[in-house]
Structure 1
Amino acid sequence: MSSLLTVLAAGIAAFALLLKFGPDPRRNATDILVAGLAAVNIAGVLGLGWFVVEMLIHDGVMVLEILSCVVAMSLLAGTTAGALALERRGRKKTAGILSGVTALPTIFVYGFLVYLDVNPIDWR
C-alpha cells in the first residue's frame, strides 16, 4: 500500500502547489476545482510512471504494456497542461470540464487499485 500512499501524497502536494502558484490570488470554487482535478491528473501521471518502473524492475521490458502507459501518461499530461493554460486565459469552466474528463477515470482506477490492495484476488 506504500506506493498508493506515495502517489496520494504527490497528488496532495501538487494540489497545494497549484493553489499556491495559481493565476488568481482571490480563489473561487472553480479555481479550487480545477486545481484539485489537475492534481489528480498529475498524481495519475506519477502513478503510471511508478507502474512502468515497477514493471521494468520485476518483469523486464514489455513493449506493449510500457507503450500503453506512456501514451496514457502523455494524454493525462497534455490535457492537464491544456486545462491549466485555459484557466490562465480565464476560461475556467472549460478548464474544469477538460480536467474532469480525464480526472474522473483516474479517480476510479485509483479507487479500484486501493480496493485490490485491500482485497487481493486469489488466483488459485
Structure 2
Amino acid sequence: MSPLLILLGAAAVSFILLLRSGTEGRRDATDIVAAGLAAVNSAGVLGLGWFVIEMLIHDGVMALEMLSCVVAMSLLAGTTAGALALKRRGRKRTAIILSGVTALPTIFVYGFLVYLELNPIDWR
C-alpha cells in the first residue's frame, strides 16, 4: 500500500475528528475549511515523521536532514495548534489564513509526490 494513500486516509480521519470535535449544531463553511486545512497540516506532520523513520531505516542517522524535518514538523504542528486555538476563540477567518499559509505548500508537495509516484524518475 502506498504511503501517500495511508496519509490521505489519516487526513480524512483527522478531518472527520476535527469536524465532530467542534461546536455542536450547525457548522458553516468556515468551520469546514478550517477543519480541512488543519487535517492537511496534520497529515503533513505525519508524512514528515514517516520520512524521518524511512530515512533512519534506509540511510542511518543524517543529522542535517533529520533536523530540517523536525523543524518543519514543529512549524506545521505549531501553526495548526495556533489556528485551532484561534478558531475556538471565534476568530475563524484568522485561523483559516494561518492554516492556509502552511497547508498550501503541503498540498503542493503532496501533489508533486503523487506526480512522482505516477511518473517515476530514473535518477541514474
Q: TM-score range by the shorter chain?
A: over 0.9
Write out aligned runs for 1:19-98 (5 A): 19-98=19-98
| CA deviations over 1:56-104 (Å, ceiling 9, x no partner) | 0000000000000000000000000000000000000000000000000
Equivalent residue letter for 2:104: L
Residues of 1 paired with 2:62 and 2:103: CA distance?
Answer: 26
- Normalised to the residue count of structure 1, the TM-score between the two structures is 0.97
How far the C-alpha of 1:46 sits from its partner, in A, is 0.2
Mean Cα deviation higher: 21-30 or 49-58: 21-30
Alignment size in residue pairs = 124
Residue equivalent to 1:121: 121
How far the C-alpha of 1:23 sits from its partner, in A, is 3.2
How far the C-alpha of 1:123 sits from its partner, in A, is 2.1
Residues of 1 paired with 2:24 and 2:105: CA distance?
Answer: 28
Residues of 1 paired with 2:110 and 2:86: CA distance?
Answer: 26
| CA deviations over 1:9-49 (Å, ceiling 9, x no partner) | 00000000000111353200000000000000000000000
How far the C-alpha of 1:2 sits from its partner, in A, is 1.1
* Same amino acid, percent of matched pairs: 79
- Normalised to the residue count of structure 2, the TM-score between the two structures is 0.97
Residues of 2 paired with 1:66 and 1:118: CA distance?
Answer: 26
Q: Give 4+ residue runs of structure 1 displaced > 6 Å after superposition.
A: none
Mean Cα deviation higher: 54-63 or 17-26: 17-26
Aligned-pair Cα RMSD in Å: 0.9
How far the C-alpha of 1:122 sits from its partner, in A, is 1.3
